[in-house]
Structure 1
């Protein structure tokens, strides 16, 4: 009886290992979804419908394309093992924000495309370690301002695209960007105020005098309203609508640091092949056991 049992176990183990290898692969030659070039150290994962970054991207990758996908968020350590990257494209995705430190390990990065996303804000110091960056594209997003010092460490930047964002020139948060643009005229492609065609670099302190309060922050709820609600009867409390897309943020929800780092199996032919192989091998093992028992 040990013969068929051992055979079945061996077949199941082999099929499981095959599926794991296929799903963990990145390059097409290994059953993954991306096109890899060993000579140029480039990995092209463009236009794959990806919702997560593929796992096992080679650590010596120099050029990584993740544009034209469906990435809505990034793990904070998504690129920490890719310190040799000089080119990274994340354009034309669905990114709304970036986790702090997501680029701090990319010390060799020269080109970064973040254009054509839905970025509403940038974290403090997100570009601080990118001293070799020469091209940064942030155009076609939903940015109203940038944090103080956002571009201070970009000493080699030559091209910075900021157009087609709803820059809020009535808010004092815009003053850092206005001053940076005014003193770096040769290094950027302009940005205009959302309220008018006025260039951001021309905004004065008198024009940008308002405190910055945006709907997605808890400071948008006046203290007087909170006090009134706390002292009212339940029947008198008005219903305050909270947009569904902001509900988790309203409750203090934060994205986890670690998201899945491998592509969903349905995004790759390897997923189908792995499942089919598993079923075939398992079926073969079962038939072998039944045949052996009938003879016994």
Structure 2
């Protein structure tokens, strides 16, 4: 009976070694990109001048720090498989946009920091799956508007920072679902107090005053008057919301045949082809230690697979004889 028992133990040990080898590729001390605290399931990739997120972050990571890098974009599947994350920091990067669905698998996330980037807008539903989120930092971006319902699913949210953006208004009902909110920062935005739709924000601030801190600091772009103090007379204009879309008149649409005929005349810059093909400048290429680390990781993985296969074959052979 010792034969299959020993083989099973060997199989478990090899599987554990395989997983450790995969994690080593990310956190190896000699030439590794990130530092890891396995006891706390924490991965720190901050201040590494990264232009892309490492692809082999352990699936049981609870805390992921990616701040102070050079991330200008995120792939939609950037955090695929990281359901254990409760803390994610993307602050101090160069993010200009967020792909729809990028946070959809982070259903246990409690803290999300995206402050001090270059975000100009947010996709509708970008936070819909983050139902456990309690802290959302979006300050010091370039947000000009918010999509309708962007915070509707964040019923556990306690802290929301939107200060130092370029917001002129918020959609009707933007904060209605945030029943547990205790801190909201709205200052340093050019609130347009001449438009009627600012009255929603004024009424909400008046209702929550005393229960939600910092909301009184929101001021109109003109006159330095607090949003809290504006009157219906101040906000008499019917302004067009930036979220409003207008259908294109059919008569102005260009026939497809004309577009097709003109395609051959379009000149695409060489750098666009390079970006499409995934070309990277030499200073973004992996360093020699990283290359060696990757090669050793693949060799170790292949060795683990071979030993695992041998153990499985041994078990089958033993059982067949039995």
If the length of structure 2 is used for normalisation, what is the TM-score?
Answer: 0.59
Q: Which residue of 2 aligns with 1:53?
A: 74
Q: 1:121 aligns with which of 137, 145, 148?
A: 145
The answer to whether the Cα contact below 8 Å between 1:163 and 1:191 also exists between their aligned partners in 2 is yes
Residue in structure 2 matching 1:195, options 201, 216, 222: 222
The answer (yes or no) to whether the contact 1:48–1:267 under 8 Å persists in 2 is no
3-state DSSP of counterpart to 2:197: helix
Residue ranges of structure 2 left out of the alignment (5+ in a row) = 1-20, 43-61, 247-275, 296-322
Aligned residues: 219
Q: Which residue of 168, 171, 182 maps to 2:206?
A: 182
8 Å Cα contact 2:25/2:294 also seen in 1: no
How far, CA to CA, are the matches of 1:170 and 1:196 in structure 2?
11
Q: Distance in 1 between matches of 2:150 and 2:242?
A: 23
Residue 233 of structure 1 is matched in structure 2 by: none
**After superposition, where does 1:166-177 map in structure 2 within 5 Å?**
166-177=190-201
Q: Residues of 1 paired with 2:180 and 2:284: CA distance? A: 38
Equivalent residue runs for 1:213-252 within 5 Å: 213=240
CA RMSD of aligned residues (A): 3.7
In structure 2, the residue matched to 1:242 is none
| Consecutive unaligned residues in structure 1, runs of 5 or more | 1-20, 220-259, 279-296
Query: Whole-Å Cα distance in 2 between the matches of residues 178 and 32 of structure 1?
Result: 51
In 1, the alpha carbon distance for the partners of 2:184 and 2:63 equals: 24
> What is the aligned counterpart of 1:145 among 166, 169, 183?
169
Whole-angstrom distance in 1 between the partners of 2:37 and 2:74: 18
Cα deviations across residues 197-245 of structure 1 (Å, max 9, x unaligned)? 21101111111011214789777xxxxxxxxxxxxxxxxxxxxxxxxxx
Residues 33 and 267 in structure 1, CA contact (< 8 A), matched pair in contact too: no
Q: State the distance in 2 between where 1:51 and 1:26 align.
A: 24
CA shift, 1:91, in A, is: 0.2
Quick one: structure 1 residues 28 and 208, their matched pair in 2 at CA, closer, same or farther if it must change by over 3 Å?
farther
How far apart, in 1, do the equivalents of 2:293 and 2:35 lie?
24
CA distance in 2, matches of 1:197, 1:71: 31
Q: Deviations 1:124-148 (Å, cap 9, x if unpaired)? A: 0000000000000000000000000
CA distance in 1, matches of 2:163, 2:122: 15
Cα deviation code 1:231-263 (max 9, x no counterpart): xxxxxxxxxxxxxxxxxxxxxxxxxxxxx9x9x
Shift of the 133–276 alpha-carbon distance from structure 1 to 2, 3 Å rule, reads: closer
Q: Provide the TM-score with structure 1 as the length reference.
A: 0.64
